[in-house]
């Protein structure tokens, strides 16, 4: 049983090298796995699943990108790799329709994964960054189904304008640099792991890829942070039966064999 986890690809039409690297990763790496978990900020922005209704030739290039990504994930899932999608803080409006187009299952944040009897807590990671109070307030609003319904009732151009406005209002949200993204609050990490009874937490979001050893009530525990993808470098975590979790970085033109 091989399980792969990735996050923070921030796919958008302006970063074709990452998109192509993702397709290479699906073909060469994910196709060998039993499951692929995408833990949020898969897309740089998401204004609604009805982007699938736009003609591929629309000028922003978003519709063409989204349709290619959905088709590639659907092919992967048809070939036998289960695909799971979790929301990030940038693509929290991804809905069931897009998930279905990908042959994927949408996951709650957090989700407890049973890895051969070992519970692993999966999160995007933004909910752990509680010191960013302005963002936490926005997060609460943005996860409200009523607010989401109001937004989704707007036209696509109106939503694109609103997304731009939100990004401009928040300096942090305008940048993908790790130093501009607040790091997790250590106490929140411990609290979440204790609540869910997991000695391993995997998340992304902070763009600070690392393996952190910690103690949970005197027992050894671990937090592994996925890296954000760059035009020349990807990151994943490989969970293989019998071996410990492996955090890997790789050149996007030569992803690992499994």
Q: Given strand 233-240, what is the order of strands in its sheet? A: 104-107, 82-86, 35-39, 2-6, 233-240, 246-251
- The residue (of 41 and 236) whose beta carbon lies closer to Mn ion is 41
d(C-alpha 33, C-alpha 27), whole Å: 11
Smallest gap from Cβ 202 to Mn ion, in A, equals 14
- The residue (of 120 and 226) whose beta carbon lies closer to Mn ion is 226
- The residue (of 81 and 230) whose beta carbon lies closer to Mn ion is 230
- The residue (of 88 and 255) whose beta carbon lies closer to Mn ion is 88
Smallest gap from Cβ 41 to Mn ion, in A, equals 4
Smallest gap from Cβ 123 to Mn ion, in A, equals 11
Would you tell me which residues interact with Mn ion (CB under 5 A)?
A: 41, 88-89, 205
What is the SS3 assignment for the chain? CEEEEECCCCECCCCHHHHHHHHHHHHHCHHHCCEEEEECCCECCCCCHHHHHCCCCCCCCHHHHHHHHHHHHHHHHHCCCEEEEECCCCCCCCCHHHHHHCCEEEECCCEEEEECCEEEEECCCHHHCCCCHHHHHHHHHHCCHHHHHHHHCCCHHHHHHHHHHHHHHCCHHHCCCHHHCCCCCHHHHHHHHHHHCCCEEEECCCCCCEEEEEEECCEEEEEEECCCCECCEEEEEEEECCCCCEEEEEECCCCCCC
Smallest gap from Cβ 78 to Mn ion, in A, equals 29
Q: Extract the tokens encoding 26.
A: 């699906």
- The residue (of 7 and 29) whose beta carbon lies closer to Mn ion is 7
- The residue (of 205 and 223) whose beta carbon lies closer to Mn ion is 205
Smallest gap from Cβ 146 to Mn ion, in A, equals 23
Give the residue nearest to Mn ion (CB).
205
- The residue (of 77 and 89) whose beta carbon lies closer to Mn ion is 89
Smallest gap from Cβ 142 to Mn ion, in A, equals 12
Smallest gap from Cβ 179 to Mn ion, in A, equals 14
d(C-alpha 28, C-alpha 42), whole Å: 19
């Amino acid at each position: 049983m091989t399980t792969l986890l990735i996050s923070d690809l921030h796919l958008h039409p302006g970063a074709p090298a990452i998109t192509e690297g993702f397709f290479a990763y699906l073909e060469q790496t994910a196709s060998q796995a039993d499951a692929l978990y995408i833990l949020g900020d898969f897309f740089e922005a998401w204004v609604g699943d009805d982007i699938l209704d736009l003609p591929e030739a629309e000028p922003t290039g978003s519709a063409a990108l989204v349709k290619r990504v959905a088709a590639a994930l659907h092919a992967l899932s048809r070939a036998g790799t289960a695909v799971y999608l979790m929301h990030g803080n940038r693509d929290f409006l991804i809905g069931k329709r897009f998930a279905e187009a990908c042959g994927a299952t949408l996951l709650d944040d957090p989700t407890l994964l049973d890895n051969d009897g070992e519970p692993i807590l999966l999160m995007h990671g933004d909910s752990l960054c509680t010191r960013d109070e302005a963002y936490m307030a926005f997060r609460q609003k943005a996860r409200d189904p009523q607010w989401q319904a109001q937004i989704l009732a707007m036209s696509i151009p109106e939503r694109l304008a609103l997304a731009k406005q939100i990004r401009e209002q928040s300096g942090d949200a305008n940048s993908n640099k790790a130093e501009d993204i607040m790091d997790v609050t250590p106490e929140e990490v411990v609290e979440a792991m204790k609540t869910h009874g997991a000695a391993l937490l995997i998340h992304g979001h902070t763009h600070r890829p690392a393996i952190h050893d910690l103690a949970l009530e005197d027992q050894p525990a671990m937090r592994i942070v996925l890296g954000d993808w760059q035009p020349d470098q990807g990151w994943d975590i490989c969970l293989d039966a019998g071996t410990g979790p492996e955090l890997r970085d790789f050149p996007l033109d030569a992803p690992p064999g499994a």
